[in-house]
Amino acid sequence: MNIGEASAASGVSAKMIRYYEDAGLVPPADRSASGYRIYGDADVHRLRFIRRARDLGFPVAEIADLLGLWNDRSRRSADVKRLAQAHIADLEDRIAKLRQMADTLQTLSDCCAGDHRPDCPILAGLEHPGPGQRAHVT
């Protein structure tokens, strides 16, 4: 099948298929006489695996590790579990940071009258970090 058909079958865009090939997650596709990429069922299966891992938020480097384990029939499930647990910890940390950002913004928003006056606690809060926050200079 061509890249468009592989894309439709796997749910991965043609652009991402080319990216995954460049990143080494997908082996270089065979080429037709006219130079078009040709994919088989095994390629589509691999692309579906990659898509599911991406849907779960795994970065490309960790997907490469997962693919290595997936292809290694002598793997230990403990190695796979260790990768998954590390990713869970990372997700939980990001969730906590997002929750903190949402809470801070909600507090600032609650303090804003939202009327015709120019005073705005949201802008003041963005201008001056609160206690325990660092000002970042770029």
Domain stop point among 58, 75, 92: 75
Output the domain CATH number for residue 48: 1.10.1660.10
Helix residue spans in the chain (DSSP H):
3-10, 14-23, 41-55, 60-71, 77-111, 121-127
Q: Same domain for 88 and 116?
A: yes
Q: Which domain holds residue 119?
A: 79-127
Q: Same domain for 104 and 53?
A: no
Q: Same domain for 69 and 123?
A: no
Domain stop point among 35, 53, 75: 75
- Cα separation, 84 vs 37, whole angstroms: 33
**Per-residue pLDDT reduced to its tens digit, 1-49:** 999 999 999 999 999 999 999 999 999 999 999 989 999 999 999 999 9
- Cα separation, 98 vs 7, whole angstroms: 33
**Per-residue pLDDT reduced to its tens digit, 94-110:** 999 999 999 999 999 99
Helical axes 41-55 vs 3-10, angle rounded to 10°: 50
